[in-house]
């Protein structure tokens, strides 16, 4: 209350400044406004523009990277599908080749078996012929010897021995 009384006594309003103070304040404000408008505001605007451009560039880069990633994913999936198809084809080829190899081995085994059986038959036949020839010779010599003892004369003639043996074997085979 005392301040209100003092202001009322002096006659001047303390809320209204003096004219020289207003002029100095107005000049200081104008200078400050000019400096801020000329130097500081462009810096702020440039910083805002740079930040806006960086954000826009970042968004564009992010969208571009996302599109590239989607394209790469699509390409990857296509390659994966192609690789799976190729692997399936290779498995099928390997299965077919395995079946062909097994069939070829069976055919070779069958041919080898047939060859071995034929060779065994040939060998048996050869041994049979050899045994038959050997048996004829032995039977012939025994028959000649026996006939010589029975007849009492020597059958030294080879042709005669051969005829006697053949006749003996023929008679023997006929009696079976």
Spatial distance between the Cα atoms of 117 and 150, rounded to a whole number of angstroms? 47
Express each pLDDT in 66-98 by its tens digit: 999 999 999 999 999 999 999 999 999 999 999
**What pLDDT band is residue 105 in, cutting at 50, 70 and 90?**
very high
38-to-5, 23, 32, 104, 128 alpha-carbon distances in Å: 46, 22, 10, 96, 130
In terms of pLDDT, which residue wins out, 175 or 61? Answer: 61
Angle CA 169–175–176, to nearest 5 = 100
Spatial distance between the Cα atoms of 164 and 144, rounded to a whole number of angstroms? 7
Spatial distance between the Cα atoms of 44 and 39, rounded to a whole number of angstroms? 9
**What pLDDT band is residue 8 in, cutting at 50, 70 and 90?**
low
Express each pLDDT in 27-55 by its tens digit: 999 999 999 999 999 999 999 999 999 99
| Mean pLDDT calculated for residue range 1-25 | 72
CB within 8 A of 169, min separation 6: which ones?
136, 139
Express each pLDDT in 120-164 by its tens digit: 999 999 888 888 888 777 877 777 777 667 765 555 666 666 777
Longest dimension (CA), the chain: 199
Angle CA 36–37–43, to nearest 5 = 75
15-to-2, 4, 7, 167 alpha-carbon distances in Å: 16, 12, 10, 172
**In the chain, what are the domain boundaries?**
16-174
Spatial distance between the Cα atoms of 28 and 96, rounded to a whole number of angstroms? 98
């Amino acid at each position: 209350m005392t301040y209100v009384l003092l202001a009322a006594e002096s006659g001047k309003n303390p809320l209204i400044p003096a004219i020289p103070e207003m002029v100095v304040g107005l000049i200081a404000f104008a200078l400050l406004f000019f400096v801020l408008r000329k130097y500081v505001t462009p810096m702020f605007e440039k910083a805002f523009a740079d930040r806006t451009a960086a954000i826009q560039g970042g968004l564009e880069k992010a969208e571009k990277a996302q599109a590239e990633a989607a394209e790469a994913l699509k390409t990857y999936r296509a390659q994966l599908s192609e690789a799976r198809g190729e692997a399936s084809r290779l498995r099928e080829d390997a299965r077919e080749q395995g079946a062909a190899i097994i069939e070829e081995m069976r055919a070779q085994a069958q041919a080898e078996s047939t060859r071995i059986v034929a060779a065994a038959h040939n060998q048996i036949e050869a041994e049979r012929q050899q045994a038959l020839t050997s048996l004829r010779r032995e039977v012939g010599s025994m028959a000649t010897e026996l006939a010589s003892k029975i007849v009492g004369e020597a059958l030294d003639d080879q042709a005669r021995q051969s005829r006697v043996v053949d006749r003996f074997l023929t008679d023997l085979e006929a009696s079976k």
